Copies of this chain bind each other. A is one copy, B any other.
Amino acid sequence: MTYCVALKLASGLVFASDTRTNAGVDNVAVFRKMHTFEVPGERLITILTAGNLATTQLTISELEERSKAAMERHPTILETVSMFQTAQLIGDTLRQVISRNATSGQKADSTFNATLIVGGQINGHPPRLFLIYPEGNFIEASDDTPFFQIGETKYGKPILVRAFDKDMSFEAAVKLLLVSFDSTIKANLSVGPPIDVQFYVNDSLKRGYDTRIRADDPYFMKLSTGWGEALRDAFQHLPDYERS
């Protein structure tokens, strides 16, 4: 499993992804699930991946390879003219990778499916955020649905729904994401730190703040403890049920 979230704020985009992959509980590894394609001053595209690791790695590799040696296939991910076209290109690549594995004669116990979040901005266009399905089609974040989650989404959703505010600062957004990740990590062994976090500031057209938060990060540890205590406090202060 995996947990990745992207938020669309008024001031920009925030991405976060865990790094645990597992094939069974006895085969656990750390892989980066956040991938950025950048031409400073022209475009910034960040992809978060969830699902079959072979599928997501091959999808990212194909996008990279084509951008280096494009051959007959254009446009590459560094040439698309809009975020919409970028999402189409990534969706097509994902679908082709999945269908190639699914029909190649071999069968696997688990499916080859994967789901991606793609966000960023291309010069002259507004920033956009998409969720891409294994079938290659996609939906876009809006004011009504200003964030996307992929992977193990349930445990971390309640706090996102209750505390998200599109005018929050990047620093408050990272706090929100880390609380959401903490709830998920506590409940699902297949989601684990370190957590990659990236900001994109609207119209900057370059990578913003980008960091990896480890399990022993002092802020993350303080937040995890503090949130647990705050939840218990909040619960204690609500009135008990009264028998009628």
Q: Which residues of A pack against B, CB within 8 Å?
A: 154-155, 157-159, 161-163, 169-172, 174-176, 178-179, 183, 186-187, 209, 211, 219, 222-223, 226-228, 230-235, 237-244
Contact = CB atoms under 8 A, between A and B. Distances in A.
B158 A187 contact: yes
B235 A159 contact: yes
Contact of A219 (B178, B231, B242): B242
Identical copies in the complex: 2
Contacts of A233: 234
Contact of A227 (B154, B183, B234): B234
Given A161-B186, A175-B241, 13 more contacts: A154-B155, A158-B186, A158-B187, A159-B235, A171-B240, A175-B239, A179-B235, A211-B243, A211-B244, A219-B239, A223-B239, A226-B238, A230-B234
20 contacts: A154-B187, A157-B187, A158-B158, A158-B187, A161-B186, A169-B240, A170-B241, A172-B240, A172-B241, A174-B240, A175-B239, A175-B241, A176-B235, A179-B238, A219-B241, A226-B238, A226-B239, A230-B237, A230-B238, A231-B234
Nearest to A158: B183
Contacts of A171: 240-243
Nearest to A219: B241
Contact of A162 (B162, B223, B232): B232
Question: 8 nearest interchain CB pairs?
Answer: A230-B234, A174-B241, A154-B154, A171-B240, A163-B235, A171-B241, A158-B183, A234-B234
A158 B174 CA distance: 20
Contacts of A162: 228, 231-232, 235
